[in-house]
Amino acid sequence: MNIEELRDFCLSLKAVTESTPFDEITLVFKVGGKIFTLANIDDFQSFNVKCNPILAEELREKYHSVTAGYHMNKKHWNTINVTNNELSEEELKYWIKHSYDLVVEQLPQKIKIMENLI
């Protein structure tokens, strides 16, 4: 997966916005105003996704490409390295969608209605 494929997939999900709120190189994807994925645009080697804490630990133990979220809450975020081809595109998309679903699930009902997420 490259940065364009990541961007296309994230933007294919309902009510997703993209921005660079931290600096010019960190691309952030949000749903309902909450981050679910972010990546470095200039040097795309990995991306961060939110993850169920139990699953996050399991993935870190199973794959060398999955580590605790860089600059994120280590309990709830994973960094996924995409440079060594250990992971399939389907797995990467699944984890992005899992992150998206976790964020949507936690959004207030009012936001879900406004964003047509229910």
What does the pLDDT look like over 31-74, one tens digit per residue?
999 999 999 999 999 999 999 999 999 999 999 999 999 888 88
Beta strand extents in the chain (DSSP E only): 16-19, 26-31, 34-40, 46-50, 66-68, 77-81
Split into its structural domains, the chain has a count of 1
Which domain does 58 fall in, by range?
Answer: 3-114
pTM given for the model: 0.94
CATH of the domain at 98: 3.90.1150.30
d(CA 91, CA 113): 29
